[in-house]
Chain A
Amino acid sequence: MLLSVDHVTHYRYDRPVRGVVQSHRLMPSRFDGQKVLDWSVTMTGGTMGSAFRDGAGDWVQGWTVAGPVDEIEVRVKGLVQTTDLAGILRGHREVVPPEAYLRDTDATAPDAALTELGQLIAAADSPLSGCHALSEAISAAIAYTPGTTRVQTTAAQALAQGQGVCQDHAQALIAAARVGGIPARYVSGYLQSGQDGMDHEAAHAWAELFVAGIGWIGFDPANECCPDARYIRLGSGLDAQDAAPIRGISRGSGAEILSVTVAVQTQEQ
């Protein structure tokens, strides 16, 4: 599938700030399921740092903007050819050992309910079917309801309230999978979700679970499926914060007003 992306993040400060520093993971991952045909990231007034590929295989690019500045726009535009690999991250080069993804973070610390869900792994015939069972259980336990959770909501909190968005589904699945001894990580990316354009889903997140003998496999409990040709993968981390495509900070006392638009569309072949 040929997908075009236009992703604009706009920052406005009510008082000019003295400077901005950001770290981006906004480049599509290199693996057999996606091929970048065209891609650009721009930042108004920004100076690029030296980019590098990190141990997880993500392309990291630092940016700085010298102030005073009251408005910044980060724009990602590009074209990617994708292939459905049934969620399998084939041909992805990385050096972080899978075991490093068994560690909890504050956002993915398991409580009793997550620990109980984690038992689904051991109860299944194979680790792979255990992962599928767990992903289905998370889909059933957390109803997709935008506006009910916040960026800081933890996996345990989202599961307890039974509502959330893709971030909550992904973090809950990660937390429960780790209880079951399955290395698990948070993945951020884009999703093409129909002509009606559900914009809030276009900037998307899902989970990857590591199954020995197969490797990393994507699971998207928010959409009850494994990532296919509609998905573009950007980067991964131990939780949402660790995998964020943009991490940044501004120097100054100006309050930030953020607006984000994302359009992911299929193109004529």
Chain B
Amino acid sequence: MTPCFNEMFQDNAVRPPYAGLQGWSADMPADIRLAKQAEAEALFRRIGITFAVYGEGGDPDRLIPFDMFPRVFTANEWAKLERGIKQRARALNAFLVDVYGRGEIVRAGRIPGKLVYQNDAYEKSVCGFIPPKGVYSHIVGIDIVRTGPGEFYVLEDNCRTPSGVSYMLESREMMMRMFPDLFRENRIEPIDSYPDKLRRTLASVAPAKCDRDPTVVILTPGHFNSAYYEHSFLADLMGVELVEGQDLFVDGAFVYMRTTEGPKRVDVIYRRLDDAFIDPLCFRPDSMLGVPGLMDVYRSGGVSICSAPGAGVADDKAVYTYVPEMIRFYLGEEPILKNVPTWKCGDASDLKYVAENLGDLVVKEVHGSGGYGMLVGPKSTKQQIEEFRALIMADPGNYIAQPTLALSTTPTFVEEGIAPRHVDLRPYCLVGERIELVPGGLTRVALREGSLVVNSSQGGGVKDTWVLAE
């Protein structure tokens, strides 16, 4: 494999964004480091921030390791990332409005209708309904990896309810508490406006029928959900109510929340619940987590739901390959952030390439998740590769293939001291009346040496992410 890009050291020199961390890390005695690390862990444990990042499964009460070595971007690097992320969020929302409306992109032959309309996440019950401000995905989490100084790739988009933002906020909080000097010596862009921005974004998509200051709530599946901590954390920071399905009810044309002072009308619901569970009268009739009648109120303009039901069709793995096409089609622009090159095994010529290069590729099931139904060519035996080849040949349309990327590394505190570990980045783009995001995002780090897997279920941790001011 090609050597990977080290974000701090290049040609034995420290890259400028990390200059402020060179002395800090070199001068820190081992005992101080261990004490600080223990302090951080105790703090995380005490505030109860224990949960799995979206879709990873595993023990919901597991503590995700926190690494104190920050990950740093320059103002310039971030400016480009920010433009690319906003561009992508705009295109994804334009796509959603289109495929639930006239479907111009399908009619124009730029994306196959089958991929969209027969997709499990395509929700025909919202066809013809345009949500307020034309926004389906209000919080777009875009997973990005880096392979060189100016080389960034989008791994996947999360248009439903991406989680992990509480880790972004808590990691910063933790660093500021433990190393206040670092924040005096370096000009680091603040991120603490995220809850305000999120609240403003949600309020900006209140339905037209709302003629006062909108009442916003967060709808959670409950305390047994792996991201419950995050739900209550965000509700707290935004100053809005955290509710479960049973706290809400439909009366006539509106949704109300039960309060000690009587029913209160709700205008915007930030739901952290999958489409299938939000209304037993429209989706799964056995769901006890949702609000009966909610979809009728939503579709008649009585309440807003964020993300809008049906948004998931934009973040499907097979649809992902068409996002650059969406950017060209809807915005008339060239994509600023690249997709990872992807071969669709359903195409004869792509399949030929994949078959000839299986040993070098990562092959994924189109609708699979959590690492199931996946082949990592360079890490597989000949026999595993041949077994997987048979699976692909039996149903080529169900597989896509990508090159194994040499993910960048950043210095990370490990038992022996400081060593490079692979990282990714998930920024959270807010889409309402305006499109905005706080500088940075959640950096996940693969703590195991050589590992490319940043998932917390496989030994991943988190870091504070810095964007330096100009």
A binds B: yes
List residues of A whose CB falls within 8 A of some B CB.
19, 21-23, 47-52, 54-56, 60-62, 64, 66, 95-97, 99-100, 102-103, 238, 241, 247-249
A50 to B, closest residue via Cβ: B300
Known A-B contacts A51-B300, A52-B300, A99-B118; the reply to A23 vs B127 at CB < 8 A is no
B120 to A, closest residue via Cβ: A103
A residues near B233, Cβ cutoff 8 Å: none
B252 to A, closest residue via Cβ: A47
Known A-B contacts A21-B281, A23-B282, A249-B280; the reply to A97 vs B113 at CB < 8 A is yes
Contact A49 B127 (CB under 8 A): no
A residues near B296, Cβ cutoff 8 Å: 23, 49, 52, 60-62
Question: Which 5 pairs from chain A and chain B are nearest by CB?
Answer: A55-B127, A62-B296, A50-B300, A55-B128, A99-B117
Contact B281 A247 (CB under 8 A): yes
A residues near B125, Cβ cutoff 8 Å: 54-55
Contact B128 A64 (CB under 8 A): no
Contact A96 B118 (CB under 8 A): no
B246 to A, closest residue via Cβ: A251
Contact B293 A23 (CB under 8 A): yes
Q: Which of B114, B128, B297 contacts A54 (CB 8 A)?
A: B128
B291 to A, closest residue via Cβ: A21
A51 to B114, CA, bound (A): 31
Contact B124 A55 (CB under 8 A): yes
B276 to chain A, nearest CB (A): 12
A100 to B118, CA, bound (A): 5
A residues near B114, Cβ cutoff 8 Å: 99, 102
B residues near A22, Cβ cutoff 8 Å: 281, 293
A residues near B285, Cβ cutoff 8 Å: 241, 247, 249
B218 to chain A, nearest CB (A): 22
A residues near B120, Cβ cutoff 8 Å: 103
B residues near A64, Cβ cutoff 8 Å: 250-252, 293
A52 to B297, CA, bound (A): 10
A20 to B, closest residue via Cβ: B292
Known A-B contacts A47-B251, A47-B252; the reply to A100 vs B122 at CB < 8 A is yes
Most central of B100, B106, B285, B296 by chain A CB within 10 Å: B296
A48 to B102, CA, bound (A): 30
Known A-B contacts A62-B293, A100-B117; the reply to A48 vs B252 at CB < 8 A is yes
Tell me whether B343 is interfacial, beta carbon within 8 Å: no
A55 to B125, CA, bound (A): 7
Contact A55 B250 (CB under 8 A): no
Contact B300 A62 (CB under 8 A): yes
A97 to B99, CA, bound (A): 9
Q: Which of A47, A62, A99, A102 contacts B297 (CB 8 A)?
A: A62
B295 to chain A, nearest CB (A): 8
Contact A50 B253 (CB under 8 A): yes
B284-324 near A? 1/0 per residue, CB < 8 Å: 01000000110111011110000000000000000000000
Contact B280 A99 (CB under 8 A): no
A47 to B297, CA, bound (A): 13
Contact A55 B281 (CB under 8 A): no
A43 to chain B, nearest CB (A): 12
B residues near A48, Cβ cutoff 8 Å: 252-253
A residues near B249, Cβ cutoff 8 Å: 19, 21
A54 to B295, CA, bound (A): 11
A104 to chain B, nearest CB (A): 9
Contact B103 A49 (CB under 8 A): no
